[in-house]
Chains A and B, each alone.
Chain A
């Protein structure tokens, strides 16, 4: 038995020793799924002799829940959307980037250099921005798709063939747009309307899937799917019958941002990574992969021609302006949380 214990300890020592120590440094990234090309991570790892590990999440709320659940301190950077940057900052989960710490900060496009969700870009840099609405399979439905009715009050033949994102902020904001209610309303009558809308629409929804949002559309499991524009463009690449909609009632826009997390174990490398992502060449690589739009200047000439002309990135002329998801007061947010819990149960 002693021998067995010794073997065990030796194996433990070997296994623990073999893991790290191959590269000089480490970088631990917490990122959305399918949002950065592996080649780009490999390139960063090679340029800076850093071992990069990445975990993924599939909604802003899941990111928040994980960080709240004890993962803060394990990751160096994450990529929350606009409103989540504001929430994470309020929760004190972000580190501050001091002036001069990012050499490429000047590459940020002027309109994204100072934003309401992170005044002065104290904690974040732009990653990509895009829109959230939905995509319809033209094989399944030929009528007018430029209305949020497709999700919340669908034609009978599409009922039960709809997927929505498992994302509280985006789904409830889109439902508010459908009803014409301002976001963060604390009028209980309006909120009851909102609740009734999503409860009623739930009958028509087959699934709440985010990470498989593309797959369910491509495979035909869903005929209508709430989705982000770039992800929809990728879906169209695999199934030409898919069409992204810019509804007349409105839709959501968002910007994802790379943030420096508090208690980052490898703060230096995190800053190097942020600088790396601000290089036009690298930002363009992300854009060509994820098919959204970069927030960094000098990218345009490096983009695939097809991407620049894609219908997902170019809303029709009569489309209204998109709305950002807003951060509500705690007393109001509790009410929205109740609607969401009620919807998911």
Chain B
């Protein structure tokens, strides 16, 4: 690290202070993020009081409600409860589809931008960055406005005589999908762009000299090399989509529930079942941690593989 004639040996200037410098972030994140998640874990094992509120008595009732169906009045032998698993599955599916759609549009865009000459490239990046900074709520609301039964798109199509009936999109899963895709598209473009921009295109030229086709080069040379960017983009789209609240709430009505709306309902809505909400949050967090864990392990094996 340090130069040879350095009086501090191999220590950097700020190395001795590193723990002090990191202390504020440890404290703040530890106290206001890690501790709350642990308390939430405790909460998921507490008893719900009649009419809301919690009693500090240990119970598995929240997880029982999530996974087991004991009949309407709780007096039947337990079966597996598919409803909440179904909501989770639907959310994973919607988030996955949004990720794929964002990738399909986002990769060509990122690639196109990254291969422009520097001057125009900057303008394109600027254009992608702006929506990224625009309030998510505003973007969701504008999507809602656009696709409503009497929104501009339907009005134009109707007045142009292209359709006889308004296209009904709002309060359908398609509308939620559209909202998710639209919300998180810039999250896909930017990391992929960053990866392609760093990519050394002389590799492609070498391949071309060896008569490799263009699409062959894309598939076998470019994509493997920019994979970290693609993976980062996918994670940045998938995780927020999975826990999304605004898109399902504003575009999906109350029927196209996703995990986010299910959890919100327990705290802000009429359900008032905090332990169940905490349990659902813990399950969501576990799903996300599993995804991140596999990503990290994947990356670790790749790096070690590259080292051999």
Is A345's CB under 8 angstroms from B84's CB?
Answer: yes
Interchain CB contact under 8 A, B270 and A166: yes
Q: Digit string of A51-66 for contact with B (CB within 8 Å is 1, else 0)?
A: 0000000010110111
Residue B133 interfacial (CB < 8 Å): no
- In the assembled complex, which residues on chain A have CB atoms less than 8 Å from the CB atom of B274? 69
The answer to whether B170 touches A168, judged by C-beta atoms less than 8 angstroms apart, is no
Question: Quick one: which of A175-227 are within 8 Å of B by CB?
Answer: 188, 191-192, 195, 205-209, 219-221
- Closest B residue, CB atoms, query A161: B168
B271 sits at the interface (CB 8 A): yes
Which residues 116-174 of B have a CB within 8 angstroms of A? Answer: 148-150, 166, 170-171
- B74 beta carbon closer than 8 Å to chain A: yes
Q: A195-B72, A219-B150 are in contact. Are A69 and B254 (CB under 8 A)?
A: no
Known: A209-B253, A345-B84. A221 touches B171 (CB 8 A): yes
CB distance from B193 to the nearest CB of A (A): 32
Tell whether A341 is near chain B: CB-to-CB under 8 Å: yes
In this complex, what residue of B is CB-closest to A59? B270
Q: Does A12 contact B (CB under 8 A)?
A: no
A335 B150 Cβ-Cβ under 8 A: no
Complex CA gap A300/B268 in Å reads: 38
Is A48 an interface residue, CB under 8 A from the partner?
Answer: no
Interface size on A, residues (CB 8 A): 36
> Which of the segments B46-54, B179-187, B287-295 contacts the partner chain?
B46-54
Tell me the bound Cα distance from A188 to B73 in angstroms: 9
A61 near B50 with CB under 8 A, answer: no
Docked-complex contact A61 and B267, CB < 8 angstroms: no
CB proximity to A under 8 Å, residues B18-68 = 49-53
User: How long is the Cα–Cα vector from A66 to B149 in the complex, in angstroms?
Assistant: 33
Contact of B149 among A192, A221, A338, A341 (CB under 8 A): A221
User: A91 within 8 Å of B by Cβ?
Assistant: yes
Determine which of A91, A192, A338, A342 lies in contact with B51 in the assembled complex, contact meaning CB atoms within 8 Å: A91
Q: Which residues of A contact B260 (CB under 8 A)?
A: none
Q: How large is the interface on B (under 10, 10 to 19, 20 to 34, 35 or more residues)?
A: 20 to 34
**B115 located at the interface, meaning its Cβ lies under 8 Å from any Cβ of chain A in the complex:** no
In the docked arrangement, what's the CA distance between A205 and B256, Å?
12
Select B52's contact among A64, A188, A333, A338, beta carbons within 8 Å.
Answer: A64
- Would you call B73 and A208 a contact (CB within 8 A)? no
Q: A282 to chain B: closest CB distance in Å?
A: 30
Check A68/B53 contact, CB under 8 A, given A335-B73, A338-B72, A344-B265: yes
Q: How far is the CB of B231 from chain A (nearest CB, A)?
A: 34
Name the residue in A62, A68, A195, A345 with the highest tally of chain B Cβ atoms < 10 Å from its Cβ: A345
* CB of A93, distance to nearest CB on chain B (Å): 10
From the candidates A168, A192, A209, A340, name the one contacting B254 in the complex (CB within 8 A).
A209
A87 to B149, CA, bound (A): 40
Given contacts A64-B52, A65-B52, A221-B149, contact A166 B255 (CB under 8 A): no
The verdict on A302 contacting chain B, using a C-beta distance below 8 Å, is no
Shortest B262–chain A CB gap in Å is 8
List of A residues within 8 angstroms of B150 by Cβ: 219-220
| Nearest CB in chain A to that of B87: its residue | A345
A334 CB–B CB distance under 8 Å:
yes
Residues of A within 8 A of B12 (CB): none
A220 and B149 in contact, given A69-B267, A206-B255 (Cβ under 8 angstroms):
yes
Would you give the 0/1 interface string for A115-142, flagging 1 where the beta carbon is closer than 8 Å to chain B? 0000000000000000000000000000
Residues of B within 8 A of A206 (CB): 171, 253, 255
In the docked arrangement, what's the CA distance between A186 and B257, Å?
30
Residues on B lying within 8 angstroms of A by beta carbon are: 49-53, 72-74, 83-84, 87, 148-150, 166, 170-171, 253-255, 257, 265, 267-272, 274
* Smallest CB-CB A-B distances: 9 pairs: A65-B272, A207-B253, A68-B52, A61-B270, A208-B254, A68-B53, A345-B83, A65-B52, A62-B270
A/B interface sample: 30 pairs, CB < 8 A = A59-B270, A65-B268, A65-B270, A68-B51, A69-B53, A69-B274, A166-B254, A166-B269, A166-B270, A192-B72, A195-B72, A205-B255, A206-B171, A208-B253, A209-B253, A209-B254, A219-B148, A219-B149, A220-B149, A220-B150, A220-B166, A221-B148, A221-B171, A334-B50, A338-B73, A341-B271, A344-B254, A344-B265, A344-B271, A345-B257
Q: Apart from A62-B269, A345-B83, what 12 extra A-B contacts exist at CB < 8 Å?
A: A64-B51, A64-B272, A65-B52, A65-B268, A65-B270, A68-B49, A68-B53, A166-B254, A208-B254, A219-B149, A221-B170, A344-B265
